[in-house]
Amino acid sequence: MKFNVKDMTCNHCKKTIEKVLRSNGFKDVKVDLDAHTVEFELNGRDKSAAKRVIETKGYTVE
């Protein structure tokens, strides 16, 4: 799964998003700050749940 998160701009954003996805059961989370993307395995969970957990941290998911 891959999302664009345009307002993710620094290491703080990267850590926040990695942490919230991992703590919600998503796996192999990889943030690319230059591309403003996050890639991860759904690990049996759904895409909309991933979108929601990122949005709860104040980011916009496309």
* Residue number, 4 or 9, with CB nearest to Cu ion: 9
Say how many C-beta atoms besides its own lie within 10 A of residue 48's C-beta.
9
Residue 13 sits in the site that holds Cu ion (CB under 5 A)? yes
- Does 10 participate in binding Cu ion (rule CB under 5 A)? yes
Shorter beta-carbon distance to Cu ion: residue 12 or 23: 12
Q: How far is the CB of 46 from Cu ion (least distance, A)?
A: 26
Report yes or no: 27 and 43 within 8 Å, Cβ to Cβ. Answer: yes
Which DSSP state fits 58? Answer: T
Binding footprint of Cu ion on the chain (CB under 5 A): 9-10, 12-13
